[in-house]
Chains A and B, each alone.
Chain A
């Protein structure tokens, strides 16, 4: 699986539908470590899980 994508399956009228979602990090230290390795900035989203 490609890093960053999270593949999920759902059934719709008997067919399997593949969808891709963002694979979120949940710990800032891990995200910053990845950012240093991949030389990318971090998108930090504070959200309300309801």
Chain B
């Protein structure tokens, strides 16, 4: 991460604009135990109250880290019922990083956010159809499978 990802200009800009960056050694206590850290790099998105919303373990290239962080931000808003704000983060992810590993989960979560904000089932079926068409082998396509019947 230090050699490739964190020195990247887009990564620096994204993190500086959108997040508060906090770096802790893997064995620093009590945080390491609190977050059950077993391997590094472990990259976690927290809300301002310290609640965890997203975690990745292992190296991420710049073109994967930024969408992963956008997904984490989106999940943070989703889990605090701020669906429109969550959709904004997910749309940015899907618009700028459609090839990233985070994209299928973003489509799934965007569908759920739209459903939660409208109480209409169509967004869930649309998410399934997009996942089937664009990411047929994704686990998120499998998770959306029941929505085909809506």
Contact = CB atoms under 8 A, between A and B. Distances in A.
A44 B50 CA distance: 10
Tier of interface size on chain A = 20 to 34
Secondary structure dominating the interface of A: mixed
Contacts of B46: 32, 35, 41-42, 44
B50 A25 contact: no
Interface stretch (B29-37, B93-101, B103-111, B128-136): B29-37
Contacts of B23: 24-26, 45, 47
Contact of B48 (A41, A44, A47): A41
B19 A28 contact: no
B32 A46 contact: yes
A42 B41 contact: no
A22 B22 contact: no
Contact of A28 (B12, B22, B53): B22
B16 A5 contact: yes
B45 A22 contact: no
A40 interface: yes
B3 interface: no
Contacts of A26: 22-24
A20 interface: yes
Interface of B: 1-2, 6-7, 9, 11-12, 15-26, 31-32, 35, 37, 40-50, 53, 69, 72-73, 76
Interface of A: 2-5, 19-28, 31-32, 34-36, 38-49
Given A20-B12, A22-B11, A24-B23, 10 more contacts: A3-B16, A20-B9, A24-B22, A32-B48, A35-B46, A41-B20, A42-B21, A45-B21, A45-B42, A46-B43
